[in-house]
Every structure is written in C-alpha cells, then in structure tokens.
C-alpha cells in the first residue's frame, strides 16, 4: 500500500494542482481535508473536484461551533486586535484547521501533511507551527517552496497537461480567505497602496457606508461572562449571533478595514478585511467592560490584548504563553455580564446605553450633585498626599537654584 498524505484542501486552483503534483513527486495517496469554518458556498462541488484531481478521499469537517466558542470567543474576551485594525479572522481560524488536519492524519495513518500556503505569507507559519506543536513526527510538505510553478498561468497549464478539468473560473481575481468571522481580500489594485480599493468589485459581506440605508437600526446584545448570548432579546448560540450580526453589520457598512500590516516574515502587505459582525461584537464587549472592570485590571488587560493579538497573528496559538494569557483573560470575564444597546448607521456604531448588575458606575459618585458616598472636602487631603512627591521635588529644585545663584 502507498503511504498517505493529508492535504489541507480548499478546492481552489492551488490545491487542485497540488493533488496530482503530490502523486507525481511523492507517489502518495492523497487524502483531502476541507475544514468548514463558515466558508458558505465555497464548499459546493468539492468532492467531485477532489476526486477528478486524483484524491482517494475527501473529508469535509464542520467545526464552525468549535471555532466560534473556543477560538473566536477568547479573542473577543481579550479584545485582541492586531495593529489596531485587524480582527484576526484568518489568524484565529488556522489553529483549529491545523488541529483537525492532525487528527485526520492520525486516523488515516498518514506520514505527512501538505498545505498550499505561499512562501511569502503568514499561513505557512500558522500551519507548520501548529503541526510541530501537535504532531512533531509528521512530515510537512509546502509545494510553493519547492515546485517550479511560479504563476497562475503555470498552474493552469499544469492542469491541462495532466488532463484535469477546472470546473471554476481561474482568471485573475482577488486572493480571498473567508470564514464565519470575516473575509479578506488581497491582490489586484490592493498591491499598490496609492490606489483606492475598488469596493464595487471587491465587497462580499458588506456594502459601502454610502450605499447603506439612510435610516439607522438599533439592536441590543446580551453578554454573560464576556460571551454574547442574545441579540435583540433572542437567545442564540455563538455562531448564530455572529451570523445575525454579519447580516446587520453588512447591511449598514460596518467593519470594512483597509490596512497595510506587518507580516511575520518581515514584509508589509496590504489587504481589505470585511468583518461586519465581529466589529460590532468587539465594540459591544469593550463598552460593557468599561462599566465593570476596575482601572488596574483594565490597564493590564489592555496591554495583554496587544500581546495576545500578536501571539495569535504570529502562529503562537499552541504555546504555554497563549494558554496562560487566556487564563488571565477568562478570570477578568467573571462579571462581564449585561446588555449593550447600539445603533448602526452608515459605517458607524453608536452607543445607546449599557447596563450591568456588576457595573462599578455609581450615579451618586459621578453626579455633580453631592451624594452620600463622596464629600468634596475629602479631596483636599487626597490631593495633598497625591501631589506630595511633586511638591517636594519642586521645593528642592527651587532650593538648588537659589544656592547656584
């Protein structure tokens, strides 16, 4: 019997070419694995396509709920945003995809895992760091770093030479990655940072703010321990909440992000991300935390959010540090429970009020009217002590200046 290789399969041009290439260069039986993290219609027709290309088997694994609960939610609870803009849609999907690839490789008795990520991108790191962490004995094959194909035209010719029919358009278009959380776009005019994105051609989940309705739409999101539980009072599982918020956010032009980001491999890249539901969810969660977390916890959590986002982006999901940071973040979410009221209007998320039984906001304290819990006279002593070091330093400086004169 031939040895087996598990291929991370999307059904696009790259992974279609990789199937015969693996058979030709390694003499492996190819087991294709497509992990469903919410790609939608992209999954249609995959089985026929994989077998026509020479695969012996195709797995389509639905991990959408696990993706939402165990990978997206920790990032939401952390408020993890890479370089102030990117909500990590691709980055946090790769670990669960890799985990399932390893599980199927074990099940099939495969000796290797193959991926179609290029040698310039972040995904090669995300797949391979995950495989090294979960299955260090498995061989890793990355065709883009070894084969002599250098363009889409080369790939199309390879398919023609091997009598592989491509039942999809292989013309030049954006390079996209889609899951339930977002869709990313790279290539074409986006490769020139001086060019504006062609949004009429580009957008999939959203409309531009200009094309959004002229009337605003209000909604509420209920959270328990930092996790969303209901939209507009209707209880839903996390994945359905994201679907609902994607619908609302896309309708109102929410969450379109044009960014030049720093890749792990050292280069800058430009892309456009559509994350309508995720943008709403992140904003709502942060608003709720404003009411509940104390100053010191907020400050530390804000610093760790940057580190957590960088770990996820930089292929460090399967590390002790990510686990430790997540444990801290989860401890801060114990009382992040309440309801956030928002208004969506032409690309904007407008706060309409937030409530929580664990709110640290006290109207008696915050009001300009003197209340029972705060005596204005107490501020004098506080300011004297709070400013003592500043005053002592200034007095010493005055003394030194007089002695110099």
- Mind telling me the catalytic residues? 14, 94, 123, 175
139-151: b (≥16 Cβ within 10 Å) or e: eebbbbeeeebee
Cβ atoms of residues 97 and 128 within 8 Å? no
Phi and psi at residue 257, to the nearest 5°: -125, 120
Please tell me the distance from the alpha carbon of residue 85 to that of residue 258, in angstroms, as a whole number: 9
CA dihedral 364, 366, 371, 377 (to 10 degrees): 160
Residue 65: in which H helix or E strand, if any?
helix 64-67
Report yes or no: 257 and 170 within 8 Å, Cβ to Cβ: no
Task: Give the distance from CA 57 to its chain's centroid.
Answer: 30
Q: State the alpha helices, DSSP H only, in 235-344.
A: 238-251, 276-292, 295-313, 320-332
Q: What are phi and psi of 374, to 5 degrees?
A: -140, 125
Q: Locate tokens 């869709």: which residue?
A: 183
247 closest CA partner among 260, 236, 263: 236
CA distance 52 to 54: 5
């Amino acid at each position: 019997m031939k040895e087996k290789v598990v291929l991370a399969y999307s059904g696009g041009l790259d992974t279609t070419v990789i199937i015969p290439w693996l058979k030709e260069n390694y003499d492996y039986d190819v087991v294709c694995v497509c992990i469903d993290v919410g790609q939608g219609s992209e999954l249609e027709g995959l089985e026929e396509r994989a077998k026509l290309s020479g695969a012996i088997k195709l797995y389509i694994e639905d991990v959408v709920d696990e993706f939402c609960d165990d990978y997206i939610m920790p990032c939401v609870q952390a408020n993890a945003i890479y370089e102030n803009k990117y909500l990590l849609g691709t980055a946090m999907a790769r670990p669960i995809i890799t985990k399932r690839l390893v599980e199927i490789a074990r099940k099939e008795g495969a000796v290797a895992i193959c991926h179609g990520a290029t040698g310039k991108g972040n995904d090669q790191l995300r797949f391979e760091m995950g495989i090294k962490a979960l299955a260090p004995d498995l061989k890793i094959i990355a065709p883009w770093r070894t084969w002599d194909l250098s363009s889409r035209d080369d790939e199309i010719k390879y398919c023609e030479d091997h009598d592989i029919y491509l039942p999809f358009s292989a013309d030049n278009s954006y390079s996209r990655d889609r899951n339930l959380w977002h869709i990313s776009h790279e290539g074409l005019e986006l490769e020139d940072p001086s060019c504006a994105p062609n949004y009429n051609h580009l957008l999939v989940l959203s409309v531009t703010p200009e094309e959004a309705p002229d009337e605003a739409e209000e909604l509420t999101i209920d959270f328990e321990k930092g996790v969303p539980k209901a939209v507009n009072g209707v209880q839903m599982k996390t994945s359905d909440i994201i679907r609902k918020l994607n619908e609302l956010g896309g309708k109102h032009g929410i969450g379109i992000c044009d960014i030049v980001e720093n890749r792990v491999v050292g280069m800058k890249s430009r892309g456009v991300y559509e994350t309508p539901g995720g943008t709403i969810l992140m904003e709502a969660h942060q608003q709720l935390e404003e009411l509940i977390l104390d100053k010191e916890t907020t400050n530390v959590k804000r610093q760790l959010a940057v580190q957590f986002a960088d770990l996820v982006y930089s292929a460090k999901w399967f590390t002790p540090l990510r686990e430790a940071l997540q444990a801290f973040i989860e401890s801060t979410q114990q009382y992040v429970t309440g309801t956030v009221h928002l208004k969506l209007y032409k690309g904007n998320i407008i706060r309409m009020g937030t409530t929580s039984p664990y709110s640290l906001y006290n109207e008696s304290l915050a009001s300009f009217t003197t209340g029972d819990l705060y005596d204005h006279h107490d501020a004098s002593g506080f300011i004297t002590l709070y400013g003592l070091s500043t005053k002592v330093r200034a007095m010493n400086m005055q003394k030194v200046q007089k002695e110099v004169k």
